[in-house]
Amino acid sequence: MANRHYRRAVEADLPELVRLLADDELGSRRELREAEDQRPFRDAFHEIDSDPNQYLLVVEEDGALIGMLQLTFISGLARGGLKRGQIEAVRIARHRRSAGVGQAMVEWAISRCRDEGCGLVQLTTDRSRTDAHRFYERLGFEPSHVGYKLNL
Amino acid sequence: MANRHYRRAVEADLPELVRLLADDELGSRRELREAEDQRPFRDAFHEIDSDPNQYLLVVEEDGALIGMLQLTFISGLARGGLKRGQIEAVRIARHRRSAGVGQAMVEWAISRCRDEGCGLVQLTTDRSRTDAHRFYERLGFEPSHVGYKLNL
């Protein structure tokens, strides 16, 4: 078994994280265009990194960065003052897909949400990502909601 | 036209906010049970209130609290370092429903997201809330995602 390590992202990971975001069926169109200018990514990284309610997770295997996801902890009044953990930006390096890395990473994230006092973990995934739907349903997630987006 | 006013929630609004959360087809089962103990709501309120990336909005009409929603601003690396605005806990007082209050309130929230530098506004709504689906689609939101939840 490979030597797998979970940790908070640091600024030096940024070029690798941007590559991971671009190396993705939906992301490729979006991310590669913008990747030439690293500044927006650096600014966003610093906002995430300085926010105690955000945790940008990276997964390393034998020293190589092979996965990422972003966790946001959201306190709320609904459901008796329930805190939610929200997962975004889940990406696995292409050569390490379908090898259980995603499952291990999401399970790590769920456990981190539990430690943070969350009573619910939530995420949305594009309607077209049917592999992702099967993946999250296997992990116990219920497709109970419709996810709406409005571009500004 | 009623004298409508949008502002950040304060702690003194809490009993009224808990009533709004309970007075709701899905919330009634969940919220009323817990409403006897106000402490979890107060703790959650302080976490929201002290977080610069959260904005708990209340709407008053002629001095009465008639609506609420929670905004969370989430910086991210995806989509070129795009910041998202997320809407949760949208509630309108029963006697003021179907009167344009919800639309005005969500439009206020979208405008606040724009001021905050967000490039996207997102929310999820229960699959069973078909009125809510029509409402958000009228406002320009696209039902592009599936919203997954996992109770811990």
Range of the domain at B16: 4-138
Residue B151 inside a domain? The answer is: no
- Residue B34 confidence (pLDDT) above 80: no
Does B22 reach chain A within 8 Å, measured CB to CB?
no
The pLDDT value given to residue B98: 77
Distance from CA of B2 to the nearest CA of A (A): 27
Average pLDDT, chain B: 91
Residue B143 inside a domain? The answer is: no
- Residue A25 confidence (pLDDT) above 60: no
Burial class for B108, CB neighbours closer than 10 Å (0-12, 13-18, 19+): middle
Residue B144 inside a domain? The answer is: no
Helix (H) or strand (E) holding B145: strand B142-151
The pLDDT value given to residue B35: 57
What total number of domains does chain A contain?
Answer: 1
* Residue from the list A82, A110, A149 with its beta carbon closest to the beta carbon of B145: A149
Instruction: Assess contact for B75 and A108: CB atoms under 8 A.
Output: no
How remote is the C-alpha of B122 from its chain's centroid? 11
- Residue A36 confidence (pLDDT) above 80: no
The pLDDT value given to residue A37: 74
Q: For the segment B63-121, what is each residue's pLDDT rounded down to a tens digit?
A: 899 999 999 999 999 888 999 999 999 999 988 887 899 999 999 999 999 999 999 99
CATH number for the domain including B86? 3.40.630.30
* E strand segments, chain A: 4-8, 54-61, 64-74, 84-92, 120-126, 142-151
Q: For the segment A60-88, what is each residue's pLDDT rounded down to a tens digit?
A: 999 899 999 999 999 999 888 999 999 99
Give CA–CA dist B7/B112, Å, rounded.
11
The encoded tokens of residue A98 equal 């379908």
Q: For the segment A87-129, what is each residue's pLDDT rounded down to a tens digit?
A: 999 999 988 887 899 999 999 999 999 999 999 999 999 999 9
Residue B27: which pLDDT band, with cuts at 50, 70 and 90?
A: low
ipTM at complex level: 0.91
What residues of chain A lie within 8 A of the CB of B18, using their CB?
77
Does B138 reach chain A within 8 Å, measured CB to CB?
no
Listed by number, the residues of chain A in 54-93 with a beta carbon closer than 8 Å to a beta carbon of chain B are: 54, 56, 70, 72, 74-83, 86, 88-89
Residue A150 inside a domain? The answer is: no
Helix (H) or strand (E) holding A29: helix A27-35
Residue B152 inside a domain? The answer is: no
The pLDDT value given to residue B39: 87
Give CA–CA dist A42/A130, Å, rounded.
31
